[in-house]
Amino acid sequence: MLDRTSNQPVLPPEIARRRTFAIISHPDAGKTTLTEKFLLFGGAIQMAGQVRAKGEARRTRSDFMQMEKDRGISVSASAMSFDYRDFRFNLVDTPGHSDFSEDTYRTLTAVDAAIMVIDGAKGVESQTRKLFEVCRLRDLPILTFCNKMDRESRDTFEIIDEIQENLAIDVTPASWPIGVGRDFVGCYDMLRDRLELMDRADRNRVAESIKIEGLDDPKLAEHVPAHLLDQLKEEVEMARELLPPFEAQAFLDGTLTPIWFGSAINSFGVKELMDGIGEFGPQPQVTSAEPRQIAPDETKVSGFVFKVQANMDPKHRDRVAFVRLSSGHFNRGMKLTHVRSKKPMAISSPVLFLASDRELAEEAWAGDIIGIPNHGQLRIGDTLTEGEALRVTGIPSFAPELLQNCRAGDPMKAKHLDKALMQFAEEGAAKVFKPMLGSGFIVGVVGQLQFEVLASRIEMEYGLPVRFEPSQFTSARWVSGPKDKVEKFVSSNKGHIAHDNDGDIVYMTRLQWDIDRIERDHPDLKLTATKEMM
């Protein structure tokens, strides 16, 4: 059944109130600040600054977090749940640095929408564009927040044009800024005909919003200086003429993004954005799976692992698998089937990630993210169900763009390297290839920084210094095809063959020409740059 006003299916209220989303942005645009204000208005923290403070405390526990701090990037992703009005928000954090794009891609498979934060003075930056492209691949609905309006920023039309042209998406203003920089007084709410004024005196307070009856309401002049009011009227009129109106379906299809203007640090525009996610944002969506897709309102519980984080607590070698629930009502202690191994798993200590801490999840619903501590059984791409053999699809593994040989700095400890690398491979932090000929490992990543993070984590978590050295290969492709043909190919190309951490066969080379030639000479074989995680 469809709700006639929103065209969304009618879901049980507990599921319908859930909004699971991520924030994407170029570093420094204000993602952390905005997250913090979300938590503040969601009642999850009492004062701004707590998230950062907690962040610091966590970082001191491990060296690689120190690297994160030094470089101002976020290498680990986590999930946070909090209530806002009648909604339950699940905010999934994404690493901002492009070297971790694979992790980000997988994280985005677990959300139903994304908020794109841009800096009002800088517009669409390189990382915004890359992350946006990933959202586009999944047709994710996108809400845009143009931040730092309290500073000198670009002309509003120019910002909107840039998004439309650069990202090929229609933009509709949900609010319109009044004045710029020091003259910025607030926004006109285009969707609700209200005036929202910024309180510069208290950064954590939201000034009262003023209900007005359209742009000719005399009340406007009481709050907005005359020259800004004339400009506002003119601009809003132009915007209504030139820009598309808000249309729920186009937004849900990912072809239209509403934009809010604000200042996260001043808490301005944040609540309107949160209202927007709640009111227009998609409810938990259908999950693609084989042999059939999974609807959120199915009574049986199912979910999939989109991220594994190891050694969250260095004292215990535990791993936490982040599971997005695709359907049903989960209760603590439930037995779910781990579809890949066909084994039952009692989920006795699932965690919900609340901003203040992790907490035992007594129950959870479709759309929620729960963490399941485990000893390595759960891998990225795994599906959990109440017994049915469903496999969630669309969680890819990308061929690495950089390959390097990895050697233990201390030959006495070489055998530990195997274990360490496998663990990081399962976490999705790197691809690990064992060449058929010769010893050692070849490690593949998407960005150079991942090598540095790996080296420091292996040393930190396993007490094992390692060296990364240039490899003779630069590309890797997964090989598939009829068994006999693959075997024949492997035996005549041993010097180029390796097995990945799942045991799958990989062809490595430094020449694209080789790959083209094999595809031409062996039409039965497929060389692919992505592999479905399963």
Residue 96 C-beta: closest distance to ligand G4P, Å: 6
Residue 25 C-beta: closest distance to ligand G4P, Å: 5
The 3-state DSSP class for residue 24 equals strand
* Closest to 141 measured CA to CA, from 33, 6, 26, 243: 6
Q: For the chain, what's the residue count?
A: 534
Give the position of tokens 């997988």. Answer: 106
Residue 56 C-beta: closest distance to ligand G4P, Å: 11
**C-alpha span between 381 and 287 (Å, rounded):** 13
By the rule CB under 6 A, 148 interacts with ligand G4P: yes
Residue 168 C-beta: closest distance to ligand G4P, Å: 24
Residues touching ligand G4P: how many (CB under 6 A)? 16
The structure tokens listed for 77 are 């992703």
Closer Cβ to ligand G4P, 31 or 496, answer by number:
31
* Interior angle at CA 349, CA 87 and CA 289, nearest 5: 65
Taking each continuous run of H as one helix and of E as one strand, the counts in the chain are: 15, 33
The interface region with ligand G4P, picked from 22-30, 342-350, 429-437, 470-478 by CB under 6 A, is: 22-30
The interface region with ligand G4P, picked from 20-28, 164-172, 337-345, 411-419 by CB under 6 A, is: 20-28
Is 96 annotated to bind ligand?
A: yes
The interface region with ligand G4P, picked from 23-31, 58-66, 99-107, 455-463 by CB under 6 A, is: 23-31
By the rule CB under 6 A, 380 interacts with ligand G4P: no
Other CB atoms within 10 Å distance of the CB of residue 108: 21
By the rule CB under 6 A, 435 interacts with ligand G4P: no
Q: Is 365 exposed, middle or buried (0-12, 13-18, 19+ CB in 10 A)?
A: buried
The interface region with ligand G4P, picked from 144-152, 286-294, 421-429, 521-529 by CB under 6 A, is: 144-152
Which regions of 102-212 does DSSP assign to beta strands (E)? 113-119, 142-147, 170-173, 175-178, 186-189, 194-197, 209-211
Closer Cβ to ligand G4P, 115 or 498, answer by number:
115
Residue from the set 20, 25, 107, 172 that interacts with ligand G4P by CB under 6 A:
25
The interface region with ligand G4P, picked from 259-267, 279-287, 378-386, 439-447 by CB under 6 A, is: 259-267
Residue 148 C-beta: closest distance to ligand G4P, Å: 4
Is 227 annotated to bind ligand?
A: no
Is 223 annotated to bind ligand?
A: no
The structure tokens listed for 356 are 């203040």
Q: Answer for the pair 507, 518: CB distance below 8 angstroms, yes or no.
A: yes
Query: Could you tell me how far CA 226 lies from the centroid of its own chain?
Result: 43
By the rule CB under 6 A, 212 interacts with ligand G4P: no
Is 316 annotated to bind ligand?
A: no
**C-alpha span between 172 and 239 (Å, rounded):** 9
Give the position of tokens 């195997």. Answer: 418
**C-alpha span between 57 and 344 (Å, rounded):** 37
β-partners of residue 304 are: 324, 383
**C-alpha span between 252 and 468 (Å, rounded):** 45
By the rule CB under 6 A, 177 interacts with ligand G4P: no
Is 217 annotated to bind ligand?
A: no
Closer Cβ to ligand G4P, 120 or 444, answer by number:
120
Residue 36 C-beta: closest distance to ligand G4P, Å: 8
Residue 267 C-beta: closest distance to ligand G4P, Å: 9
Interaction residues for ligand G4P, span 27-86 (CB under 6 A): 27-33
359: Cβ–Cβ under 8 A, 6 or more apart, which residues? 351, 352
Residue 94 C-beta: closest distance to ligand G4P, Å: 11
Is 29 annotated to bind ligand?
A: yes
The interface region with ligand G4P, picked from 143-151, 190-198, 237-245, 388-396 by CB under 6 A, is: 143-151
**C-alpha span between 34 and 53 (Å, rounded):** 15
Q: Answer for the pair 510, 473: CB distance below 8 angstroms, yes or no.
A: yes
Is 416 annotated to bind ligand?
A: no
By the rule CB under 6 A, 264 interacts with ligand G4P: yes
First to last CA, the chain: 32
By the rule CB under 6 A, 271 interacts with ligand G4P: no
Q: Answer for the pair 111, 21: CB distance below 8 angstroms, yes or no.
A: yes
By the rule CB under 6 A, 92 interacts with ligand G4P: no
* Closest to 369 measured CA to CA, from 9, 22, 11: 22
Is 373 annotated to bind ligand?
A: no
Cis peptide before 282 (omega within 30 of 0): no
Closer Cβ to ligand G4P, 134 or 372, answer by number:
134
By the rule CB under 6 A, 97 interacts with ligand G4P: no
By the rule CB under 6 A, 123 interacts with ligand G4P: no
Residue from the set 243, 265, 420, 458 that interacts with ligand G4P by CB under 6 A:
265
Q: Which residues are known binding-site members?
A: 25-32, 93-97, 147-150
Binding residues for GTP: 25-32, 93-97, 147-150
Binding site for ligand G4P (CB under 6 A): 25, 27-33, 147-148, 150-151, 263-266
